[in-house]
């Protein structure tokens, strides 16, 4: 359905696409599945076939894990110097720049995200490879020279080993790049599984790794579904660590699956991220950030600013301004440079978004804008209207659960205590924001919010240098920054006796 007053970007028809043929990369060789199984991906915006991919089974997954294990154990990468690792990662970054347009277009076709945004993500991903290259030359532990004259203590940092990397569909290339270059900088070997919805750009990354000269078997890519590929990647005893980005439900299952072999598990999961507005905030900037926060990537974003908590005195004015600005956001064909918001990833997901909105209205919330599927002229795919729901109370599902769509919930508060209580009421703790001209208000909020990232007078800035991750049910562990490297490092303690100075435990003269 269309809706009066929105800004839509239509299309003259579906694009002509030569479907991408995606295969597994195992021990340096590109291959289909042993049983010949494949799966297909249609563009969520246009409904055309864009990818035909090999569908991995147990045979491919186990072969990939065996290849990674062998590559790690024989030291073909783990024993390379930091300088050599950095040189290769920098080469990969240059190749990503070279292929930016190709990667961005496929990302847009598979995920439904706007082409201009996809391009920026690929550029950001190249920056992560460069940052990880810098980190590769900083892997170092500690020395302890004050344990006494007869002892020297060393703390060595070693690569953790074989890492399973499991990625979601919403930022396929960027999220793979938040993990893989850091694992490689540490000296690990990896098995990577992209989402079944967005396999192709990870395959292109594999091509670039081969071209850059990464030794065979260090990075293996298996395409397919959670069952059986993801499940084997989280249970096989030859895997030392699992790093997963995706839903909290699957993340909890992975912790349980990895427990019998005690793998390290790092998780980047969902969020229910609030922006809190105090009356002294710069409302022009705040309203723009609210609209950006909720509609970016069609709301299919772990960092989606899916709820705002607004002081009662300004709640109505803010809501009106958010609705007015929402109407100006360009929704439509993701291949058009003018589009800011593209398609919803699947029909099932659009139905889930719609159900949240209907449930909120049935529970007494008030629809101020949108609230239904959106038809974009000339496009057959699935879209959803920019949606603003006011009168939301903390007990409603839409206030607590991750909608993962272009849907904003508006809640109100009177005091700082109430704002903090509402912020921390969610089971999630990924990110939060505060808007106020008063630095004391901002700092108090930043200290008391239970969230891995807090923005003050801003939303969703990200830097390679700044760690990212969640508290509570938003995850465990951190990506990016130095912490992003540390995740993939094991600590070894070496205690060296200098000279033969230790008093014997058993005096030789006492023997016999
Ligand atoms: P998902 O959990 O459905 O799938 C993620 C990946 O896990 C896919 O590759 C999938 O095939 C795989 N998988 C599914 N079942 C599995 C199993 N039993 N064992 C192992 N792997 C399995 O998530 P999604 O729908 O692809 O992504 C959306 C979710 O990701 C949202 O909840 C979002 O908040 C979250 N996300 C979080 C971050 C973050 O950094 N915190 C970033 C992006 C997305």
Residues 441-493: tens digit of each pLDDT: 999 999 999 999 999 999 999 999 999 999 999 999 999 999 999 999 999 99
Percent of the chain with pLDDT over 70: 99
Fold of 14-269+474-493: Aldehyde Dehydrogenase; Chain A, domain 1 (3.40.605)
State whether the beta carbon of 196 lies less than 6 angstroms from ligand 1: yes
Asked whether residue 13 carries a pLDDT value surpassing 60, the answer given is yes
State whether the beta carbon of 170 lies less than 6 angstroms from ligand 1: yes
pLDDT digits (tens, 9 = 90+) for 263-294: 999 999 999 999 999 999 999 999 999 999 99
Mean predicted confidence (pLDDT) in 98-126 = 98
pLDDT digits (tens, 9 = 90+) for 99-108: 999 999 999 9
CA distance 185 to 85: 6
pLDDT at residue 486, as a whole number: 98
3-class secondary structure for 413-470?
A: ECCHHHHHHHHHHCCEECEEEEECCCHHHHHHHHHHCCCCEEEECCCCCCCCCCCECC
Cα→Cα distances 184→48, 158, 231, Å: 36, 12, 23
pTM of the entire structure? Answer: 0.97
SS3 299: helix
pLDDT at residue 489, as a whole number: 98
Question: Beta strand pairing status for 453-456 and 489-497?
Answer: unpaired
Cα of 511 to ligand 1 centre, how many Å?
64
DSSP 24: E
Mean predicted confidence (pLDDT) in 341-347 = 98
Which residues are the active-site residues?
Answer: 268, 302
Asked whether residue 511 carries a pLDDT value surpassing 60, the answer given is no
Question: What is the CB neighbour count within 10 angstroms for residue 120?
Answer: 14
Pocket test for ligand 1, best of 247, 296, 345, 353 (most atoms within 8 A of CB): 247
Question: Beta strand pairing status for 189-193 and 142-144?
Answer: unpaired
CA distance 306 to 426: 12
- Which residue, among 322, 471, 344, has the nearest Cα to 405 in the 3D structure? 344
Question: Beta strand pairing status for 20-22 and 49-54?
Answer: parallel
SS3 369: strand
Asked whether residue 252 carries a pLDDT value surpassing 90, the answer given is yes
Domain ranges of the chain: 14-269+474-493, 274-456
CA distance 78 to 74: 8
pLDDT digits (tens, 9 = 90+) for 359-384: 999 999 999 999 999 999 999 899 99
CA distance 311 to 434: 11
Would you state the CATH architecture of domain 274-456?
A: 3-Layer(aba) Sandwich (3.40)
Cα of 363 to ligand 1 centre, how many Å?
29
pLDDT digits (tens, 9 = 90+) for 14-50: 888 899 999 999 999 999 999 999 999 999 999 999 9
pLDDT at residue 509, as a whole number: 79
Instruction: Report residue 512's pLDDT band, with 50, 70 and 90 as the boundaries.
Output: low
Cα of 270 to ligand 1 centre, how many Å?
9
Asked whether residue 510 carries a pLDDT value surpassing 90, the answer given is no
SS3 142: strand
CA distance from start to end of the chain: 96
pLDDT at residue 197, as a whole number: 98
Mean predicted confidence (pLDDT) in 202-230 = 98
């Amino acid at each position: 359905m269309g809706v009066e007053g929105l800004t839509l970007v239509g299309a003259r028809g579906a694009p002509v696409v030569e479907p991408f043929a995606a295969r597994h990369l195992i021990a340096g060789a590109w291959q289909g599945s042993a049983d010949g199984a494949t799966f297909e991906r249609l563009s969520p915006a246009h409904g055309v076939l864009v990818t035909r991919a090999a569908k991995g089974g147990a045979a491919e997954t186990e072969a990939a894990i065996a290849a990674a294990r062998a590559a790690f154990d024989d030291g073909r990468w783990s024993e390379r110097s930091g300088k050599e690792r950095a040189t290769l990662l920098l080469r990969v970054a240059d190749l990503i720049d070279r292929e930016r347009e190709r990667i961005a277009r496929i990302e847009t076709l598979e995920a439904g995200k706007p082409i201009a945004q996809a391009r920026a993500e690929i550029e950001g991903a190249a920056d992560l490879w460069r940052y990880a290259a810098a980190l590769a030359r900083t892997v170092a532990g500690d020395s302890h020279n004050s344990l006494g004259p007869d002892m020297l203590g060393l703390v060595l940092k070693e690569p953790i080993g074989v890492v399973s990397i499991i990625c979601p569909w919403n930022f396929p290339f960027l999220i793979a790049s938040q993990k893989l270059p850091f694992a490689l900088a540490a000296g690990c070997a990896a098995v990577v599984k992209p989402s079944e919805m967005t396999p192709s750009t990870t395959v292109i990354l594999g091509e670039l790794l081969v071209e850059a000269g990464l030794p065979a078997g260090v990075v293996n890519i298996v395409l397919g579904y959670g069952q059986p590929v993801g499940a084997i990647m989280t249970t096989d005893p030859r895997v030392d660590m699992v790093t997963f980005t995706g839903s909290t439900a699957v993340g909890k299952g992975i912790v349980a699956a990895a427990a019998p072999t005690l793998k390290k598990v790092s998780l980047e999961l969902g969020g229910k991220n609030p922006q809190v507005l105090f009356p002294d905030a710069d409302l022009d900037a705040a309203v723009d950030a609210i609209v950006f926060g909720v509609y970016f990537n069609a709301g299919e974003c772990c960092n989606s600013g899916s709820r705002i908590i607004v002081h009662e005195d300004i709640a109505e004015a803010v809501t009106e301004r958010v609705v007015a600005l929402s109407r100006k956001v360009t929704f439509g064909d993701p291949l058009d440079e003018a589009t800011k918001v593209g398609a919803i990833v699947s029909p099932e997901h659009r139905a889930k978004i719609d159900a949240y909105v209907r449930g909120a209205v049935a529970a007494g919330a008030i629809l101020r804008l949108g609230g239904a599927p959106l038809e974009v002229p000339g496009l057959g795919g699935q879209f959803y209207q920019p949606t603003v729901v006011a009168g939301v109370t903390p007990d409603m599902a839409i206030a607590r659960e991750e909608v993962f769509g272009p849907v904003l919930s508006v809640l109100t508060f009177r005091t700082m205590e109430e704002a903090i209580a509402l912020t921390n009421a969610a089971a999630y703790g990924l990110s939060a924001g505060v808007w106020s001209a008063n630095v004391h208000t901002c700092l108090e909020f930043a200290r008391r919010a239970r969230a891995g990232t807090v923005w003050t007078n801003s939303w969703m800035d990200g830097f390679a240098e700044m760690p990212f991750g969640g508290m509570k049910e938003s995850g465990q562990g951190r990506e990016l920054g130095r912490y992003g490297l540390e995740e993939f490092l094991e600590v070894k303690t070496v205690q060296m006796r200098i000279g033969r100075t230790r008093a014997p435990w058993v005096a030789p003269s006492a023997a016999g």
